[in-house]
């Protein structure tokens, strides 16, 4: 089912939940709403669910305008962060609840619940109550309940946030697999960018009630359109430094204090045309410690991550995070030369916070 959101605004009194949001989600697509707390992603989700009425704008499921449609008539399945299982019902009754409300015959209820429970791997827990289940089991029951009525759209509200790290990894894969298998249009709210990047076909990055970007994970990562997206997507985060870009004819220099970096035509041209300092962004993996690097700095701190070390290098007043192989055994205080891959550098307008490279 296609989901079309046009100029959606939701206000609570004077408080803006989400403003002028336009998103077109394709049939069978897995879309993540990514943003920090209070960015309007959950408000949007609950508006899609029909719990909130839009203040303005239009929501369409397929061709049907659903602005005024009750939640029960939207045929959606939803999974909550708190699982939201009915504590007074058994697992069976929890999963069967949507079917019971649809007045599905008892024997078909049994069949469908058993089937879904088997898919979710909880077929042996049907007579338990939610209080007698672990977090992971509860999450599976919640998923089963959302799936049992064969919804047109699946909504996820931070479903993995309450699970421990290892389980989160497993469930991430399972949910993605299940979604591809069933081909149900899914919207997944999360503040965890790893979740969004690994699971979603496209990510809607939101901040302060506004859509910042709506793109595939790759695009968001390599061509961030705003400063917020550049800083929010990617872990460890992108390094930012305020620079002046000058030069002409395919040879440009980005300068900040003692830092002097050569930039090519493609990346250097647009910021050179900007009057005043711009924000340069460069990802940790695009900086290397190298003998023939032309930027000299001092290692401030080394954080071992296991597979690699996260190294904070100070160049004058500026600080850069970069990743290096653990074998090199770097120590803090060591002086090193850095090599910047300026083909990957990003430049942003400090006023509008928009990218100078991608529109």
Partner 1 sequence: MSQQAEKREARSSRNALRSYLGAYGFMAPAGVLVVVFFLIPVAIILYLSVTNLASSNFTSNLAAMEYIGLRNYETLLNDQFARKIFFNTIFYVLFTLSIFNVSLALIVSLLTTHIDRGAGFVFRALWILPRITSPVVYILIWKRMMAEAPFGILNQFNNWLGMPTYNYIATNPWVFVVVVNGFIGLSFGMIIFTSAIESIPKDLLNASLVDGSSKLQRIRYVILPLIRWPLLFVFTYQTLSLLTSFVEIQLLTDGGPGLYRTEVWSLTAYHRALSNYFGNAQWGYGSAFAVLLVLIGVVLAVIYMRVFRFDELVAEPRVETL
**Cβ 303 vs Cβ 310: under 8 Å:** yes
Does 132 participate in binding partner 1 (rule CB under 8 A)?
yes
Per the rule left: phi > 0, alpha: psi between -120 and 50, beta: everything else, 26 is beta
Pick between residue 125 and residue 299 the one whose CB is nearest to partner 1.
125
Return the number of the residue (14 or 291) whose C-beta is nearest partner 1.
14
- Residue from 28, 71, 123, 231 in contact with partner 1 (CB under 8 A): 71
User: 335: buried, middle or exposed (CB in 10 Å: 19+, 13-18, 0-12)?
Assistant: exposed
Site for partner 1 (CB under 8 A): which residue of 7, 12, 56, 82? 82
* 87 close to 128: Cβ distance less than 8 angstroms: no
By CB under 8 A, is residue 258 in contact with partner 1? no
Give the separation between CA 284 and CA 207, rounded to whole angstroms.
24
Tell me: does residue 212 bind partner 1 (CB under 8 A): no
Q: Is 303 left (phi over 0), alpha (psi -120 to 50) or beta?
A: beta
Query: Which residues lie below 8 Å from residue 255, measured CB to CB, with a gap of 6+?
Result: 243, 244, 245, 246, 261
> Site for partner 1 (CB under 8 A): which residue of 131, 273, 306, 333?
131
Q: Which is nearer to partner 1, 155 or 345 (CB)?
A: 155
- Residue 88 near partner 1 by CB under 8 A: yes
- 65 contacts partner 1 (rule: CB under 8 A): no
Note whether 357 binds partner 1 by CB under 8 A.
no
Asked if 252 and 272 count as a contact pair (C-beta separation under 8 A), the reply is: yes
**Using CB under 8 A, which of 1, 16, 167, 253 touches partner 1?**
167
* Minimum distance from residue 308 beta carbon to partner 1 (Å): 31
Binding footprint of partner 1 on the chain (CB under 8 A):
46, 49-51, 70-72, 74, 76-78, 80-82, 84, 86-88, 97-98, 101-102, 128, 131-137, 140, 145, 149, 155, 167
């Amino acid at each position: 089912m296609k989901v079309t959101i046009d100029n959606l605004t939701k206000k609570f009194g004077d408080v803006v939940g989400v403003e002028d949001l336009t998103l077109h989600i394709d049939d069978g697509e897995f879309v993540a709403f990514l943003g920090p707390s209070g960015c309007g992603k959950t408000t949007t989700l609950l508006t899609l669910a029909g719990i909130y009425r839009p203040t303005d704008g239009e929501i369409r499921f397929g061709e049907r305008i659903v602005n005024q449609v009750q939640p029960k008539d939207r045929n959606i399945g939803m999974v909550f962060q708190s699982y939201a299982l009915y504590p007074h019902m058994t697992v069976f009754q929890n999963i069967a609840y949507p079917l019971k409300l649809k007045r599905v015959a008892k024997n078909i209820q049994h069949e469908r619940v058993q089937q879904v429970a088997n898919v979710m791997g909880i077929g042996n827990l049907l007579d338990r109550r939610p209080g007698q289940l672990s977090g992971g089991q509860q999450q599976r029951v919640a998923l089963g309940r959302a799936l049992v009525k064969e919804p047109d759209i699946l909504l996820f509200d931070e479903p993995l946030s309450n699970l421990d790290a290892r389980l989160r990894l497993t469930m991430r894969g399972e949910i993605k697999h299940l979604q591809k298998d069933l081909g149900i249009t899914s919207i997944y709210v999360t503040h965890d960018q790893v979740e969004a990047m690994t699971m979603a076909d496209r990510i809607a990055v939101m901040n302060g009630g506004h859509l910042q970007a709506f793109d595939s994970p790759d695009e968001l990562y390599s061509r961030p359109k705003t400063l917020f997206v550049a800083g929010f997507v990617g872990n460890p985060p992108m390094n930012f430094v305020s620079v002046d870009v000058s030069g002409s004819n395919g040879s440009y220099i980005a300068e900040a204090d003692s830092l002097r970096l050569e930039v090519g035509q493609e990346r250097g041209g647009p910021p050179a045309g900007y009057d005043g300092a711009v924000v340069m962004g460069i990802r940790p993996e695009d900086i290397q410690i190298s003998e023939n690097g032309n930027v000299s700095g001092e290692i401030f701190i080394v954080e071992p991550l296991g597979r690699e070390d996260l190294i904070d290098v100070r160049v004058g007043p500026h600080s850069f995070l970069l990743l290096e192989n653990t074998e090199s055994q770097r120590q803090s205080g060591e002086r090193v030369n850095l090599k910047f891959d300026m083909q990957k550098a990003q430049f942003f307008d400090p006023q509008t916070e928009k990218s100078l490279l991608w529109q």
